[in-house]
Amino acid sequence: MRPSGRNVDELRPISIETGVTKHAEGSCLIKVGDTHVLCTASLEERVPPWLRNTGMGWVTAEYGMLPRSTSSRMRREATAGKQGGRTVEIQRLIGRSLRAGVDRQALGERQITVDCDVIQADGGTRCASITGGWVALRLAVQKLMKAGDIVSDPLIDPVAAVSCGIYAGQPVLDLDYPEDSNADADANFVLIEGGKIAEAQATAEGAPYDEEAFLRLLRLAQMGCAQIFKAQDEATRK
């Protein structure tokens, strides 16, 4: 039995509210159970120096957690003067994942920065950030297309992410914090609509597992992302 009472193949409830900030070209508040992340996409008509005069754009990301997004207050990383290793790793993952679904030539020489700020954490913050980050990115691109600044859609396919793991001996979908902190194994899958894998992070926390167990986790992720893609589509069509 899972702590939440969910079935092994059941996602937490997902809601995606768009247009939640005034200034960002694209924004949403994504809620995956009790994990809540504010995602904004900001457009700049410039690219990093190494991309100048290439005709190609860039999509990058930043990630952070509010001090009281967890059960006890965390110190702001800004007060420490630098980002922690976990933060850097997660924001690089978000950026790589989003770029996997972008035609950077069609984007042109402009940069879109996706900021993911965790308001409340209950497991799966990086996955929620990728899923919500894609929605914010889609909204920013829609604004570019509506203004006529780009001709063809640079977003090739939707990108979504979900966690899976082996909890109490069973492969389960979409780990919340009680499961994540006690799982024998956990994995984060970033998938492109249509079945392709953008990234897979899998770790044996308690004991190593075999190929069949990994494939069962992947199949759960595919089932879960199919539902997440529908939620993204509904959010961006409002």
pLDDT at residue 164 is higher than 80: yes
**pLDDT above 90: residue 142:** yes
pLDDT 10s digits, 41-63: 999 999 999 999 999 999 999 99
Identify residue 30 by its one-letter amino acid code. Answer: I
* Least trusted range by pLDDT, from 87-96, 130-139, 206-215: 206-215
Cβ 193 vs Cβ 160: under 8 Å: yes
Distance CA 132, CA 83 (A): 22
C-alpha to C-alpha distances, 220 to 170, 172, 183, 223, nearest whole angstrom: 12, 7, 16, 5
Highest CATH level, class, for 14-236: alpha beta
Which tokens hold the place of 60?
């990058």
- Reported confidence tier of residue 207, pLDDT bands at 50, 70, 90: confident
Cα–Cα distance, 106 to 113 (Å, whole number): 17
Average pLDDT for 200-207:
90
Helix (H, G, I), strand (E, B) or coil at 187: strand
Phi, psi for residue 93 in degrees, rounded to 5: -60, -45
> 60 and 113 in contact (C-beta within 8 Å)?
yes
What band does 236 get if pLDDT is binned at 50, 70 and 90?
very high
Structure tokens at 196: 């392709």
Amino acid at 220: L
- Whole-number pLDDT of residue 205: 84
pLDDT digits (tens, 9 = 90+) for 6-39: 999 999 999 999 999 999 999 999 999 999 999 9
Work out the pLDDT band at 85, boundaries 50, 70, 90: very high
No. of H helices and E strands in the chain? 6, 9
Q: What's the pLDDT band for 165 if we cut at 50, 70, 90?
A: very high
* 1 vs 132 pLDDT, higher one: 132
pLDDT at 172 over 90: yes
Looking up tokens 């939707």 gives 158
CA–CA separation, 101 vs 41, rounded Å?
15
pTM (predicted TM-score)? 0.96
pLDDT for 64: 96
The DSSP code sequence of 15-31 is: EEEE--SSSSSEEEEEE
Res 238 pLDDT > 80: no
Cα distances from 107 to residues 27, 114, 144, 147, 191, in angstroms, run 19, 15, 9, 14, 21
